């Protein structure tokens, strides 16, 4: 679709505005996007999008002669796009990316639980959290739905670091009270109390830039008591989220069935505990029958499709056509560390590759990674697309920064550019990342970020 001018009719003549010039590509739905090759994104001093459209139509309105105090940043042919939304990622697992996998449960035992146990050391937890949010920014991720660990202090520190860096997250402390190493098990009542305190402190911070998700790890590591109390707590805190895993692998599904013999299915375990509803986010959700899908739709649950992780652990294939037919909302998740990269471009590619019978277009994948994810999280009134009145979460993308891309790619048709992003894209294509109008990453800072990464790793974990 070609672009047209839109604005919210409230030009900020008294405050500073910033106008970003470039090629605006903005999702509308699975099949359509707004395409403005010589576009302008006008951002107010409070981080809202004031106008978006053709610069030729907006220039006179936002010139000095019109009494507007506007700074103009010319990005040339570079793309201006909504920021990426990662619907499922594990903060403490970033140190374990690329560790050889096996089945889900053995991989957790061998690598992940030991890595998460280290978060009892607050100074270590702070270092990893700082690196984690820097890595999200340089990958163009402007909203992540995040698992932390069972540790209250480490989770509190992660929120503090995200707040200071200007990052946007839906995050929560993990709850586990069985079937895990002793260092990662908690008393159920303390786990619930700590979660309640963290939600009270952080949910809605900075006008909703940080939101809380009650986070039972998965049914295998939770007793009935913990799940039921978590359900009550979530229901008593409107606007918060519930984030967990569902039906990732056959082995896991069988284990849940043995632990909860009275439940009809894995999803039924959560439903009986009051954990299915608006703003519940279920990661993976591969092995589901039609009754499960109908329940997810009826209760307005959201799914996080994590194709890269499903590839890595050979968990199965997300039933995308059945999910869409059932009307269940979903977006994309990197699921680091089972997913080997934070780049949502890479996740988009894997979402296509993992489907053996169908082709998912770059247009749809772009939508799923942006507006579709925001819609699944019930935040599409604020995020996910570049529209006046929404918060200015956007990225500047330059495909030519990656050697594999044709040097003249930005002169190609926009569908071809999107295809290049999906099938060749990674963090190297991100030139800058903005959240609520604030720059949280610029490509020139990459060398410093790499230096910090080296210091965090220190050669060993």
* Tens digits of residue pLDDT in 353-411: 999 999 999 999 999 999 999 999 999 999 999 999 999 999 999 999 999 999 999 99
- Is the pLDDT confidence value at 102 over 90? no
330 and 208 together in one domain: yes
pLDDT at 4: 38
How far apart are the C-alpha atoms of 61 and 67, rounded to whole Å? 9
* pLDDT grade for 7, boundaries at 50, 70 and 90: very low
140 and 59 together in one domain: no
DSSP H helices, 102-187, are 104-107, 113-117, 122-138, 152-165
For the chain, how many structural domains are there in total? 2
Is residue 303 a contact partner of residue 335, using CB atoms and an 8 Å limit?
A: no
> From start to end of 140-266, where are the E strands?
141-147, 169-172, 174-175, 210-216, 241-246
298 and 350 together in one domain: yes
Q: Mind listing the pLDDT tens digit for each residue in 250-266? A: 999 999 999 999 999 99
* pLDDT grade for 426, boundaries at 50, 70 and 90: very high
29 and 70 together in one domain: yes
320 and 275 together in one domain: yes
Is residue 308 a contact partner of residue 346, using CB atoms and an 8 Å limit?
A: yes
Q: Is the dihedral of CA 91, 84, 446, 167 positive or negative?
A: negative
Lowest mean pLDDT among 47-51, 168-172, 301-305, 446-450: 446-450
pLDDT at 444: 80
How far apart are the C-alpha atoms of 11 and 35, rounded to whole Å? 23
DSSP designation for 108? I
More confident residue, 145 or 5: 145
Domain endpoint, select from 336, 355, 376 = 376
pLDDT at 99: 86
pLDDT at 446: 52
Q: Is residue 454 part of a domain?
A: no
17 and 101 together in one domain: no
Query: Reduced to 3 states, what is the DSSP secondary structure of residue 334?
Result: coil
Closest listed residue to residue 234, CA positions, set 268, 203, 256: 203
36 and 70 together in one domain: yes
Q: Is residue 404 part of a domain?
A: yes
Query: Reduced to 3 states, what is the DSSP secondary structure of residue 186?
Result: coil
How far apart are the C-alpha atoms of 362 and 385, rounded to whole Å? 16
pLDDT at 193: 98
pTM of the predicted protein model: 0.93
Domain endpoint, select from 376, 407, 432 = 376
Q: Is residue 282 part of a domain?
A: yes
- Is the pLDDT confidence value at 63 over 90? no
* pLDDT grade for 157, boundaries at 50, 70 and 90: very high
**Mean predicted confidence (pLDDT) in 423-450:** 86
- Is the pLDDT confidence value at 452 over 80? no
**Mean predicted confidence (pLDDT) in 68-85:** 94
**Mean predicted confidence (pLDDT) in 271-285:** 98
Helix (H) or strand (E) segment spanning residue 140: none
65 and 97 together in one domain: no
320 and 249 together in one domain: yes
Range of the domain at 317: 84-376
Domain endpoint, select from 376, 398, 429 = 376
Domain with 316 in it: what CATH number?
3.20.20.140
Domain with 393 in it: what CATH number?
2.30.40.10
Alpha carbon of 63 to those of 50, 60, 261, 323: distances in Å? 15, 5, 68, 48
pLDDT at 6: 41
Q: Is residue 400 part of a domain?
A: yes
Torsion, CA 10, CA 36, CA 369, CA 457, rounded to 10: -90
How far apart are the C-alpha atoms of 202 and 145, rounded to whole Å? 14
Q: Which residues contact 132 (CB under 8 A, 6 or more apart)?
A: 91, 94, 158
- Is the pLDDT confidence value at 292 over 60? yes
74 and 98 together in one domain: no
- Is the pLDDT confidence value at 50 over 60? yes
Q: Mind listing the pLDDT tens digit for each residue in 112-126? A: 999 999 999 999 999
419 and 318 together in one domain: no
248 and 354 together in one domain: yes
């Amino acid at each position: 679709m070609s672009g047209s001018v839109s604005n919210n009719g409230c030009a900020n003549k008294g405050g500073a505005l910033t106008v970003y010039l470039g090629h605006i590509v903005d999702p509308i739905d699975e099949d359509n996007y707004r395409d403005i090759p010589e576009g302008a994104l006008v951002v107010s001093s409070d981080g809202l999008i004031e106008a978006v459209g053709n610069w030729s139509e907006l220039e006179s309105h936002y010139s000095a002669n019109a009494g507007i105090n506007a700074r103009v940043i010319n990005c040339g042919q570079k793309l201006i796009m909504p920021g990426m939304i990662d619907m499922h990622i594990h903060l403490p697992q970033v140190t374990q990316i690329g560790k050889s996998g096996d089945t889900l449960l053995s991989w957790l035992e061998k690598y992940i639980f030991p890595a998460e146990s280290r978060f009892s050391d607050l100074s270590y937890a702070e270092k990893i959290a700082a690196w984690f949010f820097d890595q999200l920014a340089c990958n163009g991720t402007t909203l992540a739905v995040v698992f932390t660990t069972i540790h209250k202090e480490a989770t509190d520190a992660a929120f503090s670091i995200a707040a200071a860096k200007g990052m946007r997250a839906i995050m929560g402390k993990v709850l586990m009270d069985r079937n895990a190493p002793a260092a990662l098990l908690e008393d159920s009542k303390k786990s619930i109390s700590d979660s309640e305190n963290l939600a009270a402190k952080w949910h809605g911070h900075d006008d909703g830039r940080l939101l809380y998700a009650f986070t039972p790890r998965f049914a295998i590591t939770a007793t009935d008591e913990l799940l039921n109390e978590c359900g009550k707590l979530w229901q008593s805190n409107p606007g918060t989220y519930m984030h967990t895993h569902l039906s990732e692998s056959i082995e896991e599904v069988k284990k849940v069935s043995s632990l909860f013999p009275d439940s009809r299915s894995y999803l039924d375990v959560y439903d009986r505990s009051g954990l299915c509803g608006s703003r519940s986010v279920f990661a993976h959700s591969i092995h589901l029958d039609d009754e499960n899908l109908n329940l997810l739709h009826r209760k307005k649950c959201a799914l996080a499709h994590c194709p890269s992780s499903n590839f890595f652990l050979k968990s199965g294939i997300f039933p995308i056509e059945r999910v869409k037919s059932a009307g269940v909302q979903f977006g994309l998740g990197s699921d680091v560390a089972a997913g080997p990269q934070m780049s949502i471009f890479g996740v988009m590619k894997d979402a296509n590759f993992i489907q053996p019978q169908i082709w998912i277009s770059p247009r749809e994948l772009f939508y799923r990674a942006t507006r579709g994810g925001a819609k699944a999280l019930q935040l599409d009134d604020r995020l996910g697309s570049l529209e006046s009145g929404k918060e200015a979460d956007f990225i500047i993308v330059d495909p030519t920064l990656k050697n594999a891309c044709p040097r003249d790619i930005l002169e190609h048709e926009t569908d071809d550019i999107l295809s290049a992003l999906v099938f060749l894209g990674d963090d190297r294509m991100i030139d800058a990342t903005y959240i609520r109008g604030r720059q949280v990453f610029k490509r020139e800072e990459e060398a410093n970020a790499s230096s910090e990464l080296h210091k965090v790793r220190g050669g060993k974990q």
